[in-house]
């Protein structure tokens, strides 16, 4: 049987990610794995024009807010995980998920999906599809639809 020692669970702090935690917990407990929880906040420097605002200051405030939300999520939803690492990254979600997976040497990525189709999927893109297409490790999808 393949040993799964590290599992990456990217979350969107504005969505109902907590409904997926029982599934994630099953895999973490089955393999006695370390769970890496990742939230990716948008790089505001990619926005072409924001009037009268320092982008650096706004970016720092965004990162600080994300870190506070992650700390709260860690306490509320992940307190029972013995081996837990949390990360906040800045950039494009799919790219950062793949980057962290490679850096940390994860063996499995577990992601929630929205089940978007058609035009909605074209407009919003699919982080899951990009990650599953380009990941070097298995990617497990759990539908939040």
- The answer, yes or no, to whether residue 82 has pLDDT greater than 90, is yes
**66 in Cβ contact with 41 (< 8 Å):** yes
- Residue range(s) defining the domain that contains residue 112: 6-143
In-domain check, residue 21:
yes
In-domain check, residue 79:
yes
Question: If DSSP codes are grouped into helix, strand and coil, which group holds residue 74?
Answer: helix
In-domain check, residue 72:
yes
In-domain check, residue 123:
yes
In-domain check, residue 48:
yes
In-domain check, residue 32:
yes
How many domains in the chain?
Answer: 1
In-domain check, residue 1:
no
pTM: 0.86
Question: If DSSP codes are grouped into helix, strand and coil, which group holds residue 76?
Answer: helix
Tens of pLDDT, residue by residue over 115-134, are 555 555 554 558 888 999 99
CA atoms within 13 A on the CB side of 4: 23
Q: Please name which of 3, 1, 10, 2 lies closest in space to residue 139, comparing C-alpha atoms.
A: 10
Phi, psi of 47 (to 5 degrees): -80, 130
| Mean pLDDT along residues 39-51 | 73
Radius of gyration for the chain, computed over Cα atoms and rounded to the nearest angstrom: 16
Query: Domain containing 46 — which CATH number?
Result: 3.40.50.620
**21 in Cβ contact with 77 (< 8 Å):** yes
Tens of pLDDT, residue by residue over 67-77, are 999 999 999 99
In-domain check, residue 69:
yes
């Amino acid at each position: 049987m393949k040993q799964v020692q590290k599992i990456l669970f990217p979350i969107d702090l504005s969505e109902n990610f907590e409904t997926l935690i029982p599934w994630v917990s099953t895999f973490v407990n089955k393999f006695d794995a370390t769970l890496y929880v990742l939230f990716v906040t948008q790089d505001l420097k990619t926005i072409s024009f924001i009037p009268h605002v320092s982008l650096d200051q706004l970016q720092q405030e965004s990162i600080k807010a994300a870190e506070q939300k992650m700390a709260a999520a860690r306490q509320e939803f992940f307190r029972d995980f013995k081996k837990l690492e949390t990360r906040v990254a800045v950039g494009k979600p799919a790219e950062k998920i793949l980057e962290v997976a490679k850096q940390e040497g994860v063996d499995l990525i577990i992601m929630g999906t929205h089940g978007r189709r058609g035009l909605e999927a074209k407009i919003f893109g699919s982080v899951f599809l990009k990650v599953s297409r380009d990941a070097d490790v298995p990617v497990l999808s759990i539908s939040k639809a």
